[in-house]
Amino acid sequence: MSVRQTPLTCHGHTRPVVQLAFSKITESGYFVISACKNGKPMLRQGDTGDWIGTFEGHKGAVWGVALNEDGSKAATGAADFSAKIWDAVGGTEVHSFQHNHIVKSVNFSPNGNCLVTGSNEKLIRIFDLERPDAEPLKLSGHESNLRHCLFYGDKCIVSCSDDKTLRIWDVTSGQEVRRIDFPSVVSDIEVVHESRTLTMTYGSHVAFWNLDNLSAIKEFEVPTQVHSASLKPDQSIFVCGGEDFKIYKYNFETGTEIDAFKGHFGPVHCVRFSPDAELYASGSEDGTLRLWQTNVGKNYGLWKCVQGTQENGKGMDIAGEP
């Protein structure tokens, strides 16, 4: 008997979920943080979706979120012109970095010592978290609002903007070292550190680049305007989502569509694999975060299979903040 995909639906957000990020695997499992336009990002247990806490303090929509590798600190960027660092264990605000416009993206360096932010000022800022009151390094060159900026290694940053460019920056020199122009806005970027691969989406395309020599590896067209994609670290499959509400799963080698899952009731804004790649999470305009099993039918987290059928054949709802 076949087993169908039954996502875990995580409730609690009251407005669209626009970004999400996982921690690495820690002694306490792994965690996922989600950004929401209601200004209240949430932290959850990554494998079950169980709500852990809500970070209270922003005065506007939260657009960007990140967790450091061990899940002890969270970062958020918001429409209140600030980026904040949080103690992810206690939920308290550690530091707030003031900007002059909406902060769209936040990301920790792999060693956890720096935070990079991208804002509607067209600027990238790099903050030294060991000296949080020091002036940040500013990287300028983009000609429109930043979408995303990510570390790869501790000394390089990749960014994308509404100016339809992807740019590579050297942190030590503070200089742009490569600019790549696209026919439409690059809507999402993901760095797969294990394989040093850059995943990006633009228009209806999902592209993969080698970060060592910035050469194109593969590019595929999908049936919708795509907003986000994530590559499984072993490079066997990738998932993506966009305007048509569906989550697509593809064979990375051939570009063959494996599955297309319905579940969300609005465009999909973000999708990411968990650190163990046993699931992937998606966030949508419908205000939910959903967790999807990579290998459908495997006993994992809250998914329990009995005699070839999944116990929760209609899907599971996970409550948000009580």
In whole angstroms, what separates CA 162 from the centre of its chain? 18
**129 found inside a domain:** yes
CA distance 312 to 61: 34
Confidence of residue 2 (pLDDT cuts 50, 70, 90): low
CA distance 93 to 75: 10
Task: Flag the least confident range among 13-22, 168-177, 251-260, 305-314.
Answer: 305-314
CA distance 157 to 173: 12
Contact 125, 99 (CB under 8 A): yes
CATH number of the domain at 236, please: 2.130.10.10
**2 found inside a domain:** no
Spatial CA neighbour of 68 closest among 28, 21, 35: 21
Q: What pLDDT is stored for residue 311 in this prediction?
A: 41
**1 found inside a domain:** no
At 302, is the secondary structure helix, strand, or coil?
A: coil
For residue 59, give every residue at least 6 positions away whose Cβ sits within 8 Å of its Cβ, in sequence order, or none. Answer: 39, 78, 80
pLDDT tens readout for residues 151-185: 998 899 999 999 999 999 999 999 999 999 999 99
Contact 119, 125 (CB under 8 A): yes
**133 found inside a domain:** yes
Q: Is the pLDDT of residue 252 over 80?
A: yes
301 or 76: which leads in pLDDT: 76
Q: Is the pLDDT of residue 241 over 60?
A: yes
Contact 186, 200 (CB under 8 A): yes
Number of domains in the chain: 1
> Considering the chain, what percentage of its residues have pLDDT values greater than 90?
88
Which residue do the tokens 């920056």 mark? Answer: 169
Q: Which value, to the nearest 10 degrees, does the dihedral of the CA atoms of residues 269, 101, 141, 75 take?
A: -60
Spatial CA neighbour of 283 closest among 73, 74, 62, 117: 62
What is the overall mean pLDDT for the chain? 93
Token readout for 16 is 């669209």
Question: How many Cβ atoms sit within 10 Å of the Cβ of residue 290?
Answer: 26
**204 found inside a domain:** yes
| Torsion angles phi and psi, residue 217, rounded to 5 | -100, -55
Token readout for 267 is 């465009």
Token readout for 184 is 């439409």
**310 found inside a domain:** yes
Q: Stretch 182-204: mean pLDDT, rounded?
A: 95
DSSP tag of 135: P
**3 found inside a domain:** no
Domain of residue 273: give its range.
8-318
pLDDT tens readout for residues 72-119: 999 999 999 999 999 999 999 999 999 999 999 999 999 999 999 999
Question: How many Cβ atoms sit within 10 Å of the Cβ of residue 81?
Answer: 18
Confidence of residue 306 (pLDDT cuts 50, 70, 90): low
At 274, is the secondary structure helix, strand, or coil?
A: coil
Q: What pLDDT is stored for residue 304 in this prediction?
A: 80
